[in-house]
Structure 1
Amino acid sequence: MSGAFDAKEIADRYVAQWNESDPGVRGALIRELWARDGVQVLVDPPEQIREAAAGLAFPVPPLEVRGHDALDARVGRAYDMFVAAGEHVFAAVGEPVVLLPNVVAVRWTMVPASGGEPAGAGGLDVLALDGDGRIRTDHQFIA
């Protein structure tokens, strides 16, 4: 990656996309933040998916979305499920950590929209950036 990047700015924009209510603005955020062929991989899929795969004698399948349209659908669905009702928002936890020159780790949690203690899901996303500072890969670990 050429030049330095602002890990906090990337983390703030990353979390903001999940909380954005306007689909047009959310789509624009995704197109600015992600490489055209960017991919998000859910590293540890939910238990029911792991069990279903094991029941069919398959290894745990990777769950991934690739490209702006698929990412837009993924982020929009998460918004609808967790944020749209107005009770919760996603928030960064602590400062992002630069792991390598083009890799940043972002911890996050779901908190009440009115503030307060974490209300549920949280996790860690490891974002690898391309030469333009856009997310090329996102490995998401949900706690």
Structure 2
Amino acid sequence: MSDIEELVSQYIAVWNETDPAARRAGVARVWDAEGYYTDPLAAVEGHDAIDAMIAAVQAQFPGFAFRLAGTVDAHHDVARFGWRLGPRGDAESVMDGFDVVTLTEDGRIRHVYGFLDKVPTA
């Protein structure tokens, strides 16, 4: 597994980590201190805000988990990959999207640009 694939695996694991202390440690391990995340629903910067955003998503979708959809496509300091959010296991997802990440020289995430392909309806 490449370093970028491992980083993406850790990134997905952070989204699924429900223990606040472990999630916060994961955010610090995966993201640059000045990293940010932006998608059509959120734009946050820094570890505290990223952690709070992930906690809010977990509260909105209790018992759900993110999983990688397909393979990681990467070159230089950029990677893209699809993901799905749904009940744990093989149940159908309620949300699908893809993220594009840029990396720092030390291999952590600097920016995440998220795109939503499938979103739940009201």
Same-fold call, TM > 0.5? yes
Correspondence for 1:33 among 30, 34, 53 = 30
Aligned residues: percent identity?
33
Task: Select the structure with the greater relative contact order (CA < 8 A; seq sep ≥ 6).
Answer: 1
Deviation at 1:75, TM superposition (A): 0.9
In the superposition, the TM-score normalised over structure 2's length comes to 0.88
Structure that is richer in strand per residue: 2
Counterparts of 1:15-34 in structure 2, within 5 Å, are 15-34=12-31
Q: Give the corresponding residue for 2:98.
A: 124
Counterparts of 1:33-112 in structure 2, within 5 Å, are 33-42=30-39, 44-45=40-41, 63-82=42-61, 85-86=62-63, 88-98=64-74, 100-112=75-87
1-structure distance, mates of 2:114, 2:86: 18
1-structure distance, mates of 2:66, 2:81: 12
Structure 1's unaligned 5+ residue stretches are 46-62
In the superposition, the TM-score normalised over structure 1's length comes to 0.76
Structure 2's unaligned 5+ residue stretches are 118-122
* Aligned: 1:137 with 2:103: no
Q: Provide the aligned C-alpha RMSD in A.
A: 1.4
Q: 8 Å contact 1:20–1:79 — kept in the other structure?
A: no
1:17-44 superposed Cα distances (whole Å, 9 cap, x missing partner): 11101000000000000000101111x3
Matched residue SS, 2:70 = coil
Matched residue SS, 1:96 = strand
Q: Give the corresponding residue for 2:120.
A: none
The one-letter code matched in structure 1 to 2:100 is V
